[in-house]
Amino acid sequence: MTSSTMTQTSLRHLQANLSELARLQEQASSQRAFASVSDDPAAAATALGLHAAQRRGDQYARNIDDALAWVTTADTALTSAGALLNRVRDLTVQGANDGALDPIAKEAIAVELEGIRDELLAVANTTFLGRSIFAGTSDAAAFDATYAHSGIAGSEVVRRISDGGSVRVDVDGAEAFGTGAASAFALVDSVIADLRSGTNAGGRLAEIDERLTAMRGAQAAVGSRQAQVERAKEVAVHSAVSLEARRAAVEDVDSVEVLVQLQAQELVYRSALSVTARVLQPSLMDFLA
């Protein structure tokens, strides 16, 4: 073995040790198991799949938050509407007591009912982020002054909350409140008209009960969707934690382990430098050359 061969071999070993030292230093500073796809193609492919799954999960999480806001708003509106309609029923029962009420008392009840009707109409036109929650995909208010419903039949506002699941987040206003002459608003107008005309309003109680039943049915449907969204939220949180743990296992390094390896590699490199310096002593031929 010539002196040149020994030199080349030593330099090759030194370069290999230096490359490994540089790799460990990069891992220690970046906290990443690999810097490029070529370092570990299999791990890189797994990491890309996990990142894609995380991006989908983030989108689903945003959809879930939006869906939860929609159904919560709808539930609150229907609760308020139910309370108002129950008050209408109480006032109707009171106004039907012809023997105890004079026209002035009935007029006072009618005035209160007018306020409740307007409030009920305002609740039916509740919006979330500028969109009516009772008008489906329509951009207009759910109900106009004639109590006509602006929603398109069969239209639904839907949010995708998982790979295989979607949920409706709006409410069919026509189903919950009725439309036109058959609406809850027109029913209140009828009670008001009965009170002012002297007609006994007790006959409207059955209609009020029917409307209350429809409103409670709509609220029950919203409640079931809300529970579905909340379950999806729990699943999404657990999935996000699991995906992050898997990603960290593939991409991130164990800091303690890398530091130990780095110190060991530094010792190896220094030892190699020392040995090489001792072996490759200058000779007379080096000076003659």
pLDDT tens per residue across span 186-228? 999 999 999 999 899 999 999 999 999 999 999 999 999 999 9
Count the Cβ atoms, other than its own, within 10 Å of residue 241.
10
Residues 72, 215 within the same domain: yes
Cβ 33 vs Cβ 251: under 8 Å: yes
pLDDT at 267: 74
Q: What is the DSSP string of 145-168?
A: TT--B-SPTT---EEEEETTEEEE
39 in any annotated domain: no
Please report, for the domain that includes residue 60, its CATH number: 1.20.1330.10
Task: Quote the pLDDT of residue 270.
Answer: 74
pLDDT confidence of residue 51? 86
Pairing of strands 165-168, 131-132: unpaired
Pair (112, 56) in one structural domain = yes
Residue 157: inside a domain: yes
∠ Cα 262 264 266 (to 5°):
70
Q: d(Cα 216, Cα 228) in Å, to the nearest integer?
A: 18
Q: Residue 233 has which token pair?
A: 């939220």
Q: Which of 200, 158, 156, 207 is nearest to 178 (CA)?
A: 207
Indicate whether 136 belongs to any domain: yes
3-state SS class at 131: strand
Cβ 124 vs Cβ 143: under 8 Å = yes
What letter does residue 198 receive in the DSSP assignment? T
* Cα–Cα distance measured from residue 136 to residue 168, given in angstroms and rounded to the nearest whole number: 10
Claim to verify: residue 70 and residue 204 sit in the same structural domain: yes
For residue 27, the enclosing domain spans: 3-31+253-288
Average pLDDT for residues 156-170, to the nearest whole number? 93
Task: For residues 110 and 104, give the distance between their C-alpha atoms in angstroms, rounded to a whole number.
Answer: 10
For residue range 114-148, list pLDDT tens digits in order: 999 999 999 999 999 999 999 999 889 999 999 99
40, part of any domain: no
Q: What does the pLDDT read at residue 266?
A: 74
> Does 174 share its domain with 264?
no
Strand (E) or helix (H) holding 226: helix 205-251
Q: Which pLDDT score is estimated for 14?
A: 66
The answer, yes or no, to whether residue 5 has pLDDT greater than 90, is no
**38 part of a folded domain:** no
Q: Clarify whether residues 215 and 146 are in a common domain.
A: yes
The number of folded domains in the chain is 2
Q: What are phi and psi of 172, to 5 degrees?
A: -75, 105
Output phi, psi for 143, to 5 deg.
-130, 140
Quick check: is 182 in a domain?
Answer: yes
Report the C-alpha gap between 275 and 280 in whole angstroms: 9
| DSSP H or E run through 132 | strand 131-132
Q: What angle do CA 127, 129, 134 make, to 5 degrees?
A: 30
Per residue in 256-283, pLDDT tens? 666 767 677 677 667 766 766 666 665 5
What integer pLDDT is reported at residue 278 of this predicted model?
65
User: Do 74 and 211 belong together in one domain?
Assistant: yes
Q: Which residue has tokens 């969109």? A: 131
Domain identity same for 101 and 208: yes
